[in-house]
A and B are shown apart, each in its own frame.
Chain A
Amino acid sequence: MNGTMKRIMKRTWMVTFVSLALVSGTVDQSWGILDQLLSPPAEKKPSQSKGQPQPSEQKGLVDGIGGLLGAKEKDIGLIKKGLKAAQALQPIGLEEEIAIGQAVAIEAFARFGGEYKDEALTTYVNLVGRTVAEVSDRPELTYRFAILNSREQNAFAAPGGYIFVTIGLLKTLKNEAELAGVLAHEVAHVTQKHMLKTLQRSAILANVSEFSLSAMNKDPKLFSNVIDAATDMLFEKGLDKEMEFEADTVGIEYTYRAGYHPNGLRDYLATLKAQEGTADSRFFSTHPSTGERLRRATDTAIRYTGASKYPYLTERFRSRMGPA
């Protein structure tokens, strides 16, 4: 072996040794730090015990630093007021989301024929819905599914996990994978917070500095206006079409994660497309073109290779639905 080769071998071993040392000794830690740096901010889940001081009583950093610098209480107050205005941009919290969801749910029952009273079928819809929801991106939320006694084909999701499907739509479906696909689309609206984001961008909340339960209790008119906007969006105008496309894509992913054939939603859209112009459904006015949705859903579902091993569960669906 000549000198040049020896030097090359020596350098190669050094590189290998340093790399191995990095991997075995420090990579776990540095990777963890990198993970944290690259990951989106974690959801905040602290508990607020009764014994703790209420937010208004708590002293923050501004109080402390302001006091140290000798600033007057009035000045500190002004600074805090400015910062609180900036906080108005914060997302709507979970309790407020559930309050909005409940009010929208009440309106859904009132406007779409009330509750379809079939305990066994409602339980079945909840079982399929829960199977999909627990593999979603907000599995900690409790999702509730109900059937509306309306012959028109429709399904929608209110914030907070209140999800509805009409008996008219259920009777159009052919198998459990299609039901899972439809419910997964609605679960996706909740996980992606589509309605909340739209409400926050709307004129109704443009000048609102605080949208908390206590603020809504003090100003019921504000809450009422928010629900009017939400129901108008959900039942009449529909969400932004890009949100609908996103709910299709995310919903297909949830269907696949739940172990159903990812073609479920696509197949229902194909049925809906065939009925366009004849079916009694507000789907056509509140959703983007069914043809475009079908094309995109087909493109999405086809990407799941090996999908053929996942079930449609046609027989179970038929037995739970009962005679047509």
Chain B
Amino acid sequence: MNDRRVLLVMLTLGTALTLVPSLLFAQTMYVSRDEVKLTEEKSPTSKIVETLRRGAQVRVIEKSDRHFKVQAPSGKTGWVFKFTLSDQQVGGGSGGNLLSAVTGDTRIAAREAGTGGSIRGLKETSERYATTKRVDQASKDAVQRMEDRVIPREELLKFQREGSVGEFSGETP
């Protein structure tokens, strides 16, 4: 009787262990930034299947060193650079926490809404601070230049491709 129980437990455990990888591959992840390429092969230079937007929910099908094979919301499958994925939901959330729902105050949620990229130029508060503290104009101008500097996406990708870094890491330049 005891032997049969042991055998049954072992068989059950064996079945469960066989199924664990399937469970793990059912993982849901979210695209953490815009313009993420879903490609046919594990390489950003291979054919682009689709471009994913920030916040898109994907299902992980297969994992490798620096790339995940995923299924996009459209149903298409392909490979993405795994560090463009997050296990936390990003963007497009309904916002607000329990406390804000109770008080009707949505400011906290709203304050977290914007992205850094959408906020440009010196803020009135910072400007006034600099004036009050009599900080020289050159320092204010320098911060303004930091705000104004734009690195085009193409330039960044070219730089990364030439150095085999970023999403091109592991590729021969």
Contacts and interface: CB of A to CB of B under 8 A. Distances in A.
A131 B103 contact: no
- Classify chain A: how many residues form its interface, as a range: 35 or more
Interface in B87-114: 87-97, 99-114
Nearest to A80: B103
Contacts of A311: 163-165
Contacts of A206: none
B48 interface: no
Contacts of B156: 127, 130-131
A123 B16 CA distance: 53
B102 A224 contact: no
Interface residues of B, number: 88
Contacts of B27: 31, 35
Given A47-B113, A103-B130, A134 B33 contact: yes
A86 B108 CA distance: 13
A103 B129 contact: yes
B139 A106 contact: yes
A94 B166 CA distance: 26
Contact of B102 (A41, A60, A95, A145): A60
A109 B110 CA distance: 31
B89 A94 contact: no
Interface in A124-175: 126-127, 130-131, 134-135, 137, 139-146, 160-162
A43 B83 contact: no
- Majority SS at the chain A contact face: helix
B15 A98 contact: no
Contact of B139 (A12, A36, A110, A131): A110
B139 A43 contact: no
28 contacts: A15-B12, A28-B26, A45-B92, A46-B106, A48-B110, A48-B113, A55-B107, A61-B101, A83-B103, A84-B103, A90-B108, A95-B123, A106-B135, A106-B139, A109-B142, A109-B143, A114-B142, A122-B149, A131-B165, A131-B166, A134-B33, A140-B90, A162-B143, A212-B107, A212-B111, A216-B125, A259-B169, A313-B163
B117 interface: yes
B160 A46 contact: no
A260 B165 contact: yes
B97 A109 contact: no
